[in-house]
Structure 1
């Protein structure tokens, strides 16, 4: 008896699914695909800075270099509380052994800047302070989520325009959307190892000028597939 009830329930469920599929296929529809894209410039650039004691006769301590760097950054308008942090929070100092006799202290920082111009100012300042161990780790576009939503809206609007263009010569009208598929790609918030171009700026009266740095723009694209019901 239980087997009979189970069989009847399975048949009813299968019939319902088939009927729904058949109804969907019986509906006249038009499928369109639309893609939109844009290019954005990173607005957050993350630097890794390592300050190490100088292995010279007149050794300069890490603390002295740190204070010099902090003062120079302040003159550039950098908010030290918001933009500069110590990376190794568990241990402020890392030790480097030289010829297994001397120990040179080192301190590592993370700095975030918001434009190529600000980055050029920082790189120039660090060069003048003889702090050469600086690398760019990653870049970020902070409004990526808002941009992706905007592109999805534009893609659906473009799909509607394409559907109208295809059906107008046939004397048909585009009805409601009966199926939408979002085929957008996922874009990570961070862009590791970004490409950049440094443009030398001519010196004025012998004064060194900050670097003009352009970052490779990030391409963001969205694709949607939409099925529209058709009516005469």
Structure 2
């Protein structure tokens, strides 16, 4: 029985070695392909700060909040879905200044889908003396599917490269025997206020007057890329 087991182990070892040797001995071509694309962000994150001290008419936080909601409703923004309170503790944050005066502060997160809406939001809030608005992040909602599509295109490009490389030899490529996802990247801008990647034109607070027209926002497009390595047999 022991001899039979040893024979079986030896047979399996020879078979495995033979298969590996056959794989290594096959003529193959290795190629690397990379694909990238630029897309416009469709999820733009804003932070809106409401503070009694930030407006010249000393409107209360409640008045500023009502004005903010009025502006956002006028722009047909789904507040239940896209607006959330970020920093709100014990009904309000307390800041004790001279004379024990209490100033209330609220911070909201707002998500919109395009630069035009961002401009309208900023201009509308500016008219209501709410100027503490910042852009914190941009995203592309279909990034996962986009990267999968790019990988498929990269593999197709690798095949086309391989076919062109063997064409002068009057040979053909066969099936793929190895595929490796070398690099997948999505560049998601993390924007803090006025930084590289976003341009703001007509922001009235810069010039000391209230916004009479919508603020124009331009976002840098986001780059997504993927790279693959593929080995094809040569026939």
Provide Cα deviations, 1:172-206, integer angstroms capped at 9, x if missing partner: 11110000011132437x532262012349xxxxx
Deviation at 1:132, TM superposition (A): 1.9
Name the residue aligned to 1:197: 199
Distance 1:100 1:229, change over 3 A: farther
For the structure 1 residues 113 and 158, does the alpha-carbon distance in structure 2 shift closer, same or farther, using more than 3 Å as the test?
same
Determine the structure 2 residue equivalent to 1:204: none
Instruction: State the 1:23 CA deviation.
Output: 1.7
Q: Does 1:106 align with 2:108?
A: no
Unmatched 5+ residue regions in structure 2?
204-210
Match in the other structure for 2:184: 185
Please give the TM-score of this superposition, normalised by the length of structure 1: 0.84
Range moving further from structure 2, 208-217 or 46-55:
46-55
Tell me by how many angstroms 1:143 deviates. 0.4
Residues 46-195 of structure 1 mapped to structure 2, 5 A cutoff: 46-54=45-53, 59-88=58-87, 91-99=90-98, 101-187=100-186, 191-193=189-191, 195=197
Q: Distance in 2 between matches of 1:19 and 1:100?
A: 89
What is the Cα deviation at residue 34 of structure 1?
0.8
Contact 1:86 1:92 in 2 (8 A): no
Using a 3 Å threshold, how does the CA distance of structure 1 residues 56 and 20 change in structure 2: closer, same or farther?
closer
Partners of 1:39 and 1:192 in 2: CA distance: 16
Q: Cα distance 1:12–1:108, how it changes in 2: closer, same or farther (>3 A)?
A: farther
Q: How does 1:2-21 map to 2 (within 5 A)?
A: 18-21=17-20
Identify unmatched segments of 5+ residues in structure 1. 202-206
For 1:37 and 1:18, locate their aligned partners in 2 and report how far apart those are by CA, in whole Å.
Answer: 40
Map of 2:207 onto structure 1: none
Distance, in Å, in 2 between the alignment partners of 1:26 and 1:100 is 87
SS in 2 for 1:183: strand
How much does 1:10 deviate? Answer: 8.8
Contact persistence 2:147–2:184 (CA under 8 A): no
Deviations 1:69-116 (A, max 9, x none): 111111112121122111136644222222472221111110111111
**Closer/same/farther in 2, CA of residues 140 and 55 from structure 1, 3 Å limit:** closer
Alignment partners' CA distance in 2, 1:74 and 1:128: 15
In the TM superposition, what whole-angstrom CA distance separates every residue of 1:12-71 from its partner, at most 9, and x where no partner exists?
A: 777665444322111111111111111111101111111112488964221111111111
1:32 maps to 31
